[in-house]
Chains A and B, each alone.
Chain A
Amino acid sequence: MYFLIDCNNFYASCEQLFTPAYRNKPLVVLSNNDGCIVARSKEAKALKIPMGAPVYQWREHFLRHDVIAISSNFPLYADMSQRVVATLETFALPLEVYSIDECFLECKDLKIAESIRKQVYQWTGIPVSIGIGPTKTLAKLANRIAKDQESGTHLFESIPENFAVEEIWGIGSRLKKMLYSYGITTAKQFCGLDETWVKKKMSVMGLRTLWELKGIPCKTENEMYITRKSIVCSRSFTKPLMTFHELAESLSTFVAKASQKLRREGLQTNFVTIFISTNRFKKETFYSNSSSCRLPLATNYSPELIRYAKKMLKEIYRDGDEYKRAGVLLTELSGAKEQQLDLLAQNPSTEKEKRAMEALDQINRRYGARVLYHAAEKQASAPRPAESFTTSWEQLPKIYL
C-alpha cells in the first residue's frame, strides 16, 4: 500500500511552531517581495483567502479580519522539511520525498499511519495528513479526503461522487480545460473514459493516471528521480524597474542565487538564458524578450555568470520600458567535477574561483543567507529580520524566563 504523507499548511505550521501567538489564528505567508500569498493557515483558508492571490488585493480583507501576514522564511521551511523526512526515515520503510512537504511511503501495515502522525507531530511539531491507497494517485486522492477528517488519515475505499477531476494528481490546468470541454468534470467521469481516447488526448502519462485511479500501480519511482535539468531564479517586481542599472542589479542577484543553487547541488551550467518583461496586463505596451548564450566552459562561478547576464541584458534592454519581471534560467547542467575543456577559450583559474565560491557559500551558510553578496547584486530592500530559528546561532528563538 502507498501512503502519501502531507504536512498540513506547511509554511504556516512552521511559523506557528516557533511563534505560539500565531496558533489558531488566520495567518498568511507571503512570497519574496511580499507580493503574493504562498501559504495560509487553516483559519485563513476558512476566510476564503485564495492561494497565490496578490497581497494588495486582499490587504483590506486582512485588516478587517485581523489576518496576520508575514514574509516567507525559506531557510526555516527547508530545515523543518528535512526534519520531517528524517523522522519518517526512522520507520525504516521505502520512502520517497516528493516535495518540500510531501512524501510517499510503502507499507502493508495500515495501523502504522497513526504512529507516523503522532511521531512526526511530537518530534517536529508539524501536523501531517496521511492518505493510503493501492497506487500513488489513489494515496494522493485519499490524502485530500484525509485533510477533512478528524483522524487525519484516510484509507481509500472508492472515488467520491463529486471529487473534481482537476484534483487528481497528474491533471493540471491545461488538461482540466481540455477535459471540461468534453464535459468531464469529476474523477468518476474520468474513470469511465475509453482508454484509447485518453491515450490519444493525454498521452501515455494520462493513461497511467487513469490506470492508477483504477488501482493499477504504474507511476514508478524512476520518473520521480529526474536529475535536475535546469535551475531558474526569477521574480516579479512590486515597483517596476525603469533603469538599466536597477534591472542589472536585480538580475545579478538572481544569477547569484541560481549559482548558489548550482554549487549546492554540485552542478555546473553550460547554457545561460535571461528574460525580462514589462507588465503583461498592460497589453498595448507589453514587451518581453530573452537572450541566451552557450558558455565555452561549464561553470558555476557567480562573477562569470553575472558578467554574461549583464552582457546579454545590454542586448535586449529597451529604454523607457517599465520592467515588471526578470529572471535567469540555467540549463545544460553537468556534475561539477566533469569538465569539457575548450581549446580556444582562455582557461580560467578554476582552483582559485572554486575556493572563492566555497568561502562565499560557507560564510553565507554560517551567518544566514546572503550576508556576503557580489557588488553587482541588489541589496534586499527592507527585509523583515530573518529569524531562521533553526539554522543560525544568532537567530534562535528567545524565551524569557
Chain B
Amino acid sequence: MTESTKLRFYKADKKSKLRLPLFSARVQAGFPSPADDYVEKKLNLNELLISHPAATFFVRVEGSSMIDAGIQSGDLLIVDRALSPSDNKIVVAILNGEFTVKRIRKEEGKLFLLPENPNFSPLQITEEMDFEVWGVVTYIIHKAS
C-alpha cells in the first residue's frame, strides 16, 4: 500500500473547549504554588458523554411512557448508533413509520418493547411488523428546574 502524501485538514471543533493551562501560577518572588504538580486538564463533557461522535445524535422527547426510566418530557437524549442494541437497553426505534423510545427485552427468542410507566403496555415485536432499532440511548439530559 503506497503511503499517501496528502495533508488532511481537520476543522477545529469550536464547540468543545479543552482548556489546558500553559502554566499554573505566576511565580512571584520565586515561590512556586504547592498545587503546581497537580494541575490537570479541564473537564470536557464531550469526552465523557460521546464515544462515537460520527454515530452520535441528539433527540428531544415528549411524553411520559418512559418516566420510570428517568426520561421525562422535554429531556434531551444522547443516542449512539454504533452500539449494539442488546437486551435491556433503552433504544430509539422506528415502529410503524414513527420514532419511539423504549426498553428492549429479548426473551426466549422473542423481542419486546417495554415502556417504563404502568399506564402503558409492552409490545411484542413480530416478523411482519415494521420495526427497526435506530440507536441506543446512552445518556438522558434533564434540566434541573
Contact = CB atoms under 8 A, between A and B. Distances in A.
Contacts of A20: 94, 97-99
B89 interface: no
Interface of B: 1-6, 8, 52-55, 57-66, 71, 73, 76, 81-82, 92, 94, 97-101, 115, 134
Nearest to B80: A123
Interface stretch (A61-69, A267-275, A390-398): A390-398
A86 B94 CA distance: 25
A96 interface: yes
A398 B6 contact: no
Which size class do A's interface residues fall under?
20 to 34
A399 B92 contact: yes
Contacts of B52: 123
30 contacts: A20-B94, A84-B54, A87-B54, A87-B55, A94-B3, A96-B4, A106-B1, A106-B4, A122-B81, A122-B82, A123-B54, A124-B55, A125-B134, A221-B5, A221-B6, A225-B6, A396-B58, A396-B60, A397-B57, A397-B59, A399-B61, A399-B92, A400-B99, A401-B61, A401-B63, A401-B64, A401-B66, A401-B73, A401-B101, A401-B115
Contacts of B97: 20-21, 23
A48 interface: no
A399 B1 contact: no
Interface of A: 20-21, 23, 82-84, 86-87, 90, 93-96, 106-108, 122-125, 221, 225, 389-390, 393, 396-401
A400 B1 CA distance: 50
Contacts of A93: 1
A122 B54 CA distance: 11
Nearest to A264: B11
Given A221-B5, A397-B57, A401-B101, 6 more contacts: A83-B55, A90-B54, A96-B6, A107-B1, A390-B57, A398-B62
A399 B100 contact: yes
Contacts of B92: 399
Contact of A401 (B4, B53, B62): B62
B100 A401 contact: yes
Nearest to B64: A401
B81 A400 contact: no
B54 A400 contact: no
A108 B2 CA distance: 11
Contacts of A94: 1-4
B58 A86 contact: no
Nearest to B135: A125
Nearest to B117: A401
Contacts of B81: 122-125
A256 B97 CA distance: 39
Given A94-B2, A106-B1, A399 B82 contact: no
Contact of A398 (B2, B4, B60, B65): B60
A399 B99 contact: yes
A189 to B, nearest CB: 32
